[in-house]
Amino acid sequence: MTTAFVTRSTRASRIAMIIAVLALIVLAAAPWWAGRADLRLMGEIFLYLALACLWNLMAGYAGLVSVGQQAFVGFGGYMLFALTMFGGLHPVVAILAGGVLAAIVSVPIAILVFRLRGAYFAIGTWVVAEVFRLSFAQVSSLGGGSGSSLPVDVVRSLADSRSGREALAYWLALGAAVVVIGVVYAFLRTRRGLALTAIRDSEVAASGLGIDIWRTKLEVYVVTSAFTAIIGGLIFLQKLRISPDAAFSVNDWTAFVIFIVVIGGIGTLEGPIIGTLLFFALRETLADYGTAYLIALGAVAIVVMLKAPKGVWGLIRDRFDIELFPLSYRVRTRDDHQGN
Amino acid sequence: MSALLSVSDLSKSFGAVIVADETSFEVAQGAAIGILGPNGAGKTSLFNLITGAMTPNAGRITFDGADITAVPAAKRCKMGIARSFQVPQPFGGMTVFENALVGAVQGAGLSGREAEAHVLDVLEATGLMNKANVRAGSLSLLDRKRLEMARALAAKPKLLLLDEIAGGLTDAECVALIETIKNVHAAGTTIIWIEHVVHALLAVVEKLIVINFGKKIAEGAPKTIMDSPHVKEIYLGVDPHA
Ligand SMILES: Nc1ncnc2c1ncn2[C@@H]1O[C@H](COP(=O)(O)OP(=O)(O)OP(=O)(O)O)[C@@H](O)[C@H]1O
Ligand SMILES: [Mg+2]
C-alpha cells in the first residue's frame, strides 16, 4: 500500500516567497527613497537580471548556447526608435510591439540556425547578430552607423518631468524583471516545463519518452527572443540614444550575461539572480580599475568554472538541499516511515 | 494473436560495420521475447531502430497496425514504445520521482494526481520508493538501471524494450527483477528483453532471437535455441554467465 503523497512547496520556498514580496514592496518605492544615480543603477540591474534569466532558459535548459542574443536586444531597441519616430506609437506600446515583431523574425532565424550543432550553432547566432548590426547601420533614417537620439516629443510623452520619466523607466525595468522571472517560473512548473527540464539533462532520453525536442526548443527560442527584444527596448528607453555598435554589442548583451549565468549557476532559476548580484557587486567595486576590472571578471569566471561548475547556487543547493522556487516534487509519507 | 511489432528486411550500417542485416521478425501482442548475441552484434542498435533513435538504410517497421518507419522517436513513445537504455541516461538534475514523472506525463499522457499516483506505483514496483527524492545524478549504477526501467514503465508502454538490466545484480535482486518483469508481462505488456544473464531471460521469455553481426541467425523456443550447436558455438567463451 502506498501511503505516500506528493508536494511541491518547501519551507525554504515559502520563506523565500515572503521575503521576495517584502523586497518587491521596498523596491517599488525606490523612487521615493533612492537617489537618481542609484535608481538608474537598480534599473540596469533589473534589466540585466531579466536578460540573464532569459539566456539561462534558452541555453541552460533548452541547450541553445547562443552568443547572438544581442541581435534581439538591438532589434528591440531599434523598434522603440522606429515605431515611435515613424509610427507615432507611445514608447511602451512600441516596446511591446517590438517584442511581437522579434517573435516573428526569430522563427526563420531558428529554422536556419537550428541546423547547426554545438559551436557551429553559437557561431551561427553571432553571425546573425552581425547581419542585424550591419543592416541597421544602413538605415539612414535611423542615423545609419552613428545612430540617433530619441526625439524630445517622444521622451516627453512618457512623463512631463525628468524625475517622473526616471521613475517610470525604473518601474518598467522592475516590472520587466518580475514578469520575466514569473513567466519562466510559471512555465517551468507546467508539463512543458517538465519536458524542458528533461531536455536539459538528456536529449536522447527525453525524445525516447515522447518529448518533441525540436518543437520545444523552437518555442523557447521564440519566447526568449521576444522578451529579449522587449528588454532591449527598455534598455534604450533608459539610454535615450541608440547606435548599431551599442545596440548589437556582443560584450554588453551577451558576454556579461553569460558571465552572470555561469557564475550564478546555469540551468537553475536561482542562478541568474545570484549571478546578477555578484556581477554588479564586482562591477561597482572594481569599475575604477579599468582593464583590471575585466581581468578580475575573467579570473572569477575561470575559478568558478573549475571549482564550482554548477555555479554559486549549485554549491549552495548541493550543500543545503534547498530551492527558493518550488519546482521540485517531493514525495512524503504520512508517518515519516518509508517502507516498501 | 496478431503481431504488435513487425520488422521486415531492416538494414543499417555505419561504413563497414553492419548493425542490422535484412533483419525480419514479428512480435505477437502480449509476447515476451529475448534477444541474445555477442558484444557488438547489433542488439542495442535494433532497439535504436525500433524506437526511432536511429533511421534504417532499408526495411520497414510496423507497430500496432501502422507503418512507423518514418515516425519520429517522440511520437513512437506516445504510440506505446518505451525502452530502457543499456548505458543509463538519467535526467541527472531531477529527482527519481521527477524522472519517472516525465514518462508518465509525456509518454503516457497522464496529468495531475493521476500521473503522480501512477509514478508512485511504478517506484513501488521497481524498488525505488525510498529513493524517490534523490537526485538521479547521484544514484549508483544499479539504481540508475532500476530507474531506466521505472521511467519506461511510467510511460505505460504497449511494447517495453529492456536492454541489459540484470547485469551486476545479486541473486536476490535478480529474483526480484524477474518477478517485476513477470508482473508487467502478466498485466498485458509486450516485452523484448536483451540480456546476457541468460537464466534471468529464460525465466521470463517464451521465445529467443539470436543475432550475430547484425544478422538474425536463429529464432525459436528457448530450449531449442539453447541446445542448438550453432548458438553454442557463438556463445562458447563469449559469456561466462551462460
Ligand atoms: N551511432 C553509431 N555510429 C557508429 N557505429 C555504431 C553506432 N552505434 C553502434 N555502432 C557500432 O555498431 C556495432 C553494434 O553495436 P550495438 O551497440 O548495437 O551492439 P550490442 O549488440 O548492443 O553490443 P553489447 O552487447 O556490447 O551491448 C558496434 O560495433 C558499435 O560500435
Ligand atoms: Mg548493447
The pLDDT of residue A320: 86
Strand ranges across the sheet with B215-220: B81-83, B159-163, B190-194, B32-36, B207-212, B215-220
> Rounded to an integer, what distance in angstroms lies between the CA atom of residue A50 and that of residue A179?
9
3-state secondary structure of B43: helix
Would A284 be classed as within a structural domain? yes
Domain final position from B131, B150, B169: B150
> What part of B 158-197 touches A (C-beta under 8 Å)?
none
The pLDDT of residue B240: 44
Q: Any idea which ligand is nearest the CA of B85? A: 2
Residue B10: CATH number of its domain: 3.40.50.300
Domain final position from B150, B168, B183: B150
Q: Note the pLDDT tens digit of each residue in A96-128.
A: 999 999 999 999 999 999 999 889 999 999 999
Question: Is residue B8 within 8 angstroms of chain A, CB to CB?
Answer: no
- Do B117 and B69 lie in one domain? The reply is no
Tell me which residue has its CA closest to atom 6 in ligand 1.
B14
Q: Note the pLDDT tens digit of each residue in B124-134.
A: 999 999 999 99
Which of B54, B76, B84, B91 has the highest number of chain A CBs within 10 A, making it the mutation to test binding with A?
B91
- Do B182 and B63 lie in one domain? The reply is yes
- Do A184 and A285 lie in one domain? The reply is no
Would B205 be classed as within a structural domain? yes
- Do B161 and B145 lie in one domain? The reply is no
- Do B125 and B103 lie in one domain? The reply is yes
Provide the pLDDT confidence category of residue A326 given band limits of 50, 70 and 90.
confident
Angle in degrees, CA B220, B224, B230, rounded to 5 = 95
Q: Note the pLDDT tens digit of each residue in A250-306.
A: 999 999 999 999 999 999 999 999 999 999 999 988 878 888 888 888 888 889 888
The pLDDT of residue B89: 96
Closest-CA residue of B relative to A207 is B74
Question: Is residue B47 within 8 angstroms of chain A, CB to CB?
Answer: no
- Do A94 and A170 lie in one domain? The reply is yes
- Do B46 and B137 lie in one domain? The reply is no
Mean pLDDT of the region A74-82: 97
Cβ of B40 closer than 6 Å to ligand 1, yes or no, is yes
Question: Is residue B101 within 8 angstroms of chain A, CB to CB?
Answer: yes
> Rounded to an integer, what distance in angstroms lies between the CA atom of residue A22 and that of residue B120?
37
- List the beta strands (DSSP E) in A152-256: 241-242
Is the pLDDT score of B117 beyond 90? yes
Check CB contact under 8 Å for A198 and B102: yes
Cβ of B84 closer than 6 Å to ligand 1, yes or no, is no
**To the nearest whole angstrom, how far is the Cα of B189 from the nearest Cα of chain A?**
17
The pLDDT of residue A321: 79
Count residue pairs from A and B with Cβ separation < 8 A: 113
- Do A145 and A228 lie in one domain? The reply is yes
- Do B31 and B54 lie in one domain? The reply is yes
Residues from chain B contacting residue A200 (CB–CB below 8 Å): 91, 93
In angstroms, the first-to-last Cα distance of chain B is 31
Residue whose CB lies within 8 A of the most ligand 1 atoms, among B11, B36, B39, B45, for a mutation test: B45
Check CB contact under 8 Å for A204 and B53: yes
The pLDDT of residue A338: 42
The mean of the pLDDT values for chain B is 92
The pLDDT of residue B167: 84
Would A22 be classed as within a structural domain? no
The pLDDT of residue A335: 59
- Do B67 and B118 lie in one domain? The reply is no
Indicate the residue of B73, B111, B136 with minimum beta-carbon distance to A207.
B73
- Do A292 and A158 lie in one domain? The reply is no
Mean pLDDT of the region A49-76: 96
Q: Note the pLDDT tens digit of each residue in A161-207.
A: 988 999 999 999 999 999 999 999 999 999 999 999 999 999 999 99
Domain final position from B150, B176, B197: B150
Count of domains observed in chain B? 2
- Do A233 and A266 lie in one domain? The reply is no
Mean pLDDT of the region A42-62: 96
Count of domains observed in chain A? 2
Q: What is the percent of chain B where pLDDT is above 90?
A: 81
Is the pLDDT score of B1 beyond 70? no
Q: Note the pLDDT tens digit of each residue in B138-177.
A: 999 889 999 999 999 999 999 999 999 998 888 988 998 9
- Do B167 and B215 lie in one domain? The reply is yes
Would B242 be classed as within a structural domain? no
The total number of residues shown for chain A amounts to: 340
Question: Is residue B86 within 8 angstroms of chain A, CB to CB?
Answer: no
- Do B51 and B69 lie in one domain? The reply is yes
Would A17 be classed as within a structural domain? no
Most confident of A316-320, B95-99, B234-238: B95-99
Question: Is residue A209 within 8 angstroms of chain B, CB to CB?
Answer: yes
The mean of the pLDDT values for chain A is 92
- Do B15 and B132 lie in one domain? The reply is no
Q: Note the pLDDT tens digit of each residue in A136-152.
A: 999 999 988 889 999 99
Which domain does A111 fall in, by range?
A: 37-248
**Which residue reads 524583471 in cell numbers?**
A177
Is the pLDDT score of A337 beyond 50? no
- Do A55 and A157 lie in one domain? The reply is yes
- Do A122 and A254 lie in one domain? The reply is no
Beta strand B190-194 with B207-212: parallel, antiparallel or unpaired? unpaired
- Do B167 and B219 lie in one domain? The reply is yes
Write down the H helix ranges in B31-132: 43-51, 73-79, 96-102, 112-125
Mean pLDDT of the region B53-65: 95
The pLDDT of residue A340: 36
Residues from chain A contacting residue B103 (CB–CB below 8 Å): 209-210
Provide the pLDDT confidence category of residue B236 given band limits of 50, 70 and 90.
low
For A146, residues 6+ apart whose C-beta sits below 8 A from its C-beta are A243
- Do A227 and A259 lie in one domain? The reply is no
Would A170 be classed as within a structural domain? yes
Task: Determine the atom of ligand 1 nearest the C-alpha atom of B54.
Answer: 1
Would A327 be classed as within a structural domain? no
- Do B123 and B65 lie in one domain? The reply is no
**Which residue reads 504497449 in cell numbers?**
B158
Q: How far is the CA of B163 from the centre of ligand 2 (A)?
A: 7
Q: Note the pLDDT tens digit of each residue in A203-245.
A: 999 999 999 999 999 999 999 999 999 999 999 999 999 999 9
- Do A129 and A202 lie in one domain? The reply is yes
Domain final position from A227, A248, A269: A248
Would A268 be classed as within a structural domain? yes
Which domain does B15 fall in, by range?
A: 3-80+157-235
Q: Note the pLDDT tens digit of each residue in B183-193.
A: 999 999 999 99
Mean pLDDT of the region B61-76: 95
In angstroms, the first-to-last Cα distance of chain A is 8
